[in-house]
Chain A
Amino acid sequence: MKIDLTLNGEKRSFEAAPGDTLLEVLRRERFVGVKKGCGEGDCGACAVLLDGHAVNSCLVLAGKADGREVVTIEGLADGERLHPIQEAFLDLGAIQCGYCTPGMVIAAADLLAHHPDPSEEEIREGISGNLCRCTGYVKQVEAVQDAARRMRRPHG
């Protein structure tokens, strides 16, 4: 079947088998920033934004994405300009192996888009569906706090 969607701001059209998940379609179409960690919705490594909300793409059937807007990690940066969350993750050492990073950044982007001034508890809740085995979440929470501050600052 054919699915038409807006992917990282561009209108795209993909062929998919009826039982394909969005994760499979995205990776097949070379959006490999979207990672597979479990394929069962337990780890969050595959998170993408679907109509602005972070979802496990391994649980979204490709057909569901038809007519909708998808943003993957590849679509967060604006050309060479990284998203403030990406900058914060880099500066605060929130990336070790990097495998959970795209999914976590996407979840953080969803959180900050809807809650620009989150408490620490809200940040932890916001990334609670993203498992990380490397970091203990310490620097990731700090990075989201830092990103929130950067995003609230007036441009300059």
Chain B
Amino acid sequence: MAEAKERTFSIVGKRERKVDGVALVTGRPKFVADVPIPGSLHVKVLHSPHAHARIVSIDASKVETLPGVACVLTHENTPVTRYTTAGQGYPEPSPYDTRMFDAKVRFVGDRVAAVAAESEAIAREALRLIEVRYEVLPPVLSLDEALAPGAPVIHDEEDSTGAYDPSKNIAADIDIDVGNVKKGFAASDIVVETTTETPYAQHAPIEPHVVQSYLDPDRRLVLVSSTQVPFHVRRIVARVLGIPLSRIRVIKPRVGGGFGVKQEILLEDLVALVTLRTGRPALLEYARDEEFVASRTRHPMRIRVKLGAKKDGILRAAEMEVLSNTGAYGSHALTVLSNVGSKTLPLYNKAPDVHFFGRAVYTNLPVAGAYRGYGATQGYFALETAMDELAERLGIDPVELRRRNHIRLGETSPIFQKLGEGREGVPQTVKSCELARLIEVGAERIGWAEKRGKRRRDGAWVHGIGMSIHMQGSGIPAIDMAAATIKMNEDGSFNLLVGATDIGTGSDTILAQVAGEVLGVPLSKLLVLSSDTDVTPFDTGAYASSTTYVSGKAVEKAALEVRGQILSVAAGMLGAPEASLVLANEAVRAPNGKTVSLSQVCERAMYQEGQFQIGATASFVPEESPPPFFASFAEVALDTETGQVRIVRYVAAVDCGVAINPTLAEGQMEGAIANGIGYALYEEMQISSRGRVRNPSFFDYKILGARDAVPIEVILVPSYEPTGPHGAKSVAEIGINGPLPTIANAIHDAVGIRLKRSPFTPQRVLAGLRERR
């Protein structure tokens, strides 16, 4: 894109050090549990041992006499309000099917009671003294069981709302038609159909969920939470506990990883209620096994894709049917389901006939929620496997088949309008797209032409090469809103106050770079304060790959206003028209060469003449969600005797518009791909026949370690997104969608087997090899 190359930036595009880097690398107290509030009660949760049961009685009388116990919470003494734990904008498009504590438990790990005590040891002891009698009910432990006629009804309560048809365990349902797929398939020369399945996986952030609550000197409730959604926390906690929103302050400090699992109002209600009831601060930190079992997971899915194409490979019809397991509660059920289609199907916009439909189903299993990729990860496994099969059937090279079909600059897809997040979407055309170049660059770097089909042998190892292409989105159009406040200080520095939620992504740094570009200052002059509901303006939070694009645009707007104010003051000082002034390098320059420093400008405005606070607040609601693009290539080696799969090399070519900070953009891609590789090769929550998670620890739930050496090469190919701040789009999620289909396709290249079920464990691979013989 010529535009991107012509622009010169002063701080955008620089590999600046993160603004919080020094604090993190020296271990300063920056995380929730690092700043203990003296006198805090320790809260612990009693989890259900049964997948499906009614609580016949709960007797906490023995607990109440234990010294050091401050309060016990059960369904008998807590609010009955139904809500969703999903951290989404109001009104949340998820069923209100959750109570703080219910008289029914719906998965092994569900809340039964909670205790607040002087120490963790006493709290644990107290949990043991709670006597619960259950009426065990038959559990529903799979998609098929949930949909079987006569299946036990998981949400049989009267007061839940928003689920599609709880009597049939259906939390969400969707059916979108474009054209007529029956006619489309009939008119196709080749039709392929494939079904893929993906399992339960957990985000496994190294910092588990943790919340601290306390009453400030004005007796307002303060929640310090490791969260992605501070504003949603405030609103939902207020509603659930029945207290005015203005009596709550939510602060997000540094967060040790979220990946979607913290886009949830998971524990804040509990600690808040303990503090309100006792007047004392309270802390709840999940243990690692609780984090696995009783927080959130990815939605396991079964997805059938049917593609019809002409002999030339151009798609004629596409059908995608989704069955999503949303677990015991429906948070994110509808929106993740929608995303399976909304973030995949527009990529291949040539097909005039498209049918996307599916359902999200309740089961008595761990609760699925938001997880990086948000349905697109599962969807791309199906779609890009089907495309690979189509290429094989047609005798067209897989790279070439993508080239002929992918969406291009200036094009649109009817899916954009028909399918949003749980409701209708927004029409849009692609205004920045380097996908063709990504494919070219990636294919060349991996050695596609040289390696494809060669099946190079190295002892028992066989090599193969595979690819896939992807798009995602940047924020949720017409729904997400972000705001930013900038105020100037008399030394030429600025406070940048953003609701935007840095969860380790580096958004504090990115947003500072966006502002610094407009204001002509280095990062050291930008003091970022983020995610404090009392101080920073609103932001929906860190999800939907929205921070750079949506929050960034709000920052850019605010910075432009502030710049205008600076120039107007400087104009008076320099005696030159505003339009002739240049703001750069912390000073304003007139055409005649006279300058005033930013510090002088602010001193004047603050103390001397026509005094006012130089500052502005701006908001931004995106009208569209410009997709980043990703061409994913991998060379794998497969041990034909053991089925073990090794990634020899991973090449990721990505277009995220202008990369505000290339190091951070690369980091997002590398981390997302590594997580995706884990999901493709190792990660699977194993569930017993009674619905219990059998491997809730890093010992048995294997994530990628440093020795699982995967050389990941990220190639940033810039484009310029005219609607984005300084031309930026997003990059946070898209990387995680590559590994499943890319590796599956590479395995096929190596040994001719198509794996439709992940993870591709050595056992599955070996079984596939044996079957093929």
Contact = CB atoms under 8 A, between A and B. Distances in A.
Nearest to A73: B27
B698 A82 contact: no
Contacts of A37: 206-208, 256, 288
Interface in A45-63: 45
B760 interface: no
Contact of B25 (A32, A105, A120): A105
B268 interface: no
Contact of B257 (A90, A95, A99): A99
A77 interface: yes
A90 B31 CA distance: 19
A140 B663 CA distance: 12
B709 A38 contact: no
A20 to B, nearest CB: 11
A86 B25 contact: yes
Interface stretch (B16-24, B231-239, B422-430): B16-24
A33 B703 contact: no
B699 A140 contact: no
A93 B674 contact: no
A90 B25 contact: yes
B666 interface: yes
B671 A96 contact: yes
B751 interface: no
Nearest to B26: A77
Contacts of B29: 30, 32
A93 B25 contact: no
Secondary structure class of chain A's binding surface, majority of residues: loop
Interface string B700-722: 00011111011010000000000
A104 B28 CA distance: 15
A12 interface: no
B709 A35 contact: no
A135 B27 contact: no
B255 interface: yes
B670 A133 contact: no
A127 interface: yes
B710 A136 contact: yes
A1 B712 CA distance: 49
B27 A32 contact: yes
A93 B697 contact: no
Contact of B504 (A33, A97, A139): A97
Contacts of B25: 73, 82, 86, 89-90, 95, 98, 101-102, 105
A93 to B, nearest CB: 4
A35 B207 contact: yes
Interface in B671-711: 671, 673-675, 697-699, 703-707, 709-710
A136 B670 contact: yes
Nearest to A91: B17
Given A95-B25, A98-B25, 20 more contacts: A32-B31, A35-B31, A38-B288, A40-B698, A45-B206, A82-B26, A90-B25, A96-B257, A98-B24, A99-B206, A102-B25, A121-B709, A124-B706, A133-B206, A134-B257, A136-B670, A136-B675, A136-B710, A137-B705, A139-B670
21 contacts: A37-B207, A37-B208, A38-B697, A43-B698, A73-B25, A74-B26, A82-B25, A93-B15, A93-B666, A96-B505, A101-B24, A101-B25, A125-B707, A127-B706, A131-B703, A133-B206, A136-B673, A136-B710, A137-B704, A139-B663, A139-B670
Interface of B: 15, 17-18, 20-31, 33-35, 203-208, 254-257, 259, 287-288, 503-506, 663-664, 666-667, 670-671, 673-675, 697-699, 703-707, 709-710, 712
Closest 10 CB pairs of A and B: A33-B27, A97-B504, A136-B674, A98-B24, A99-B256, A93-B663, A42-B698, A73-B27, A32-B34, A136-B670
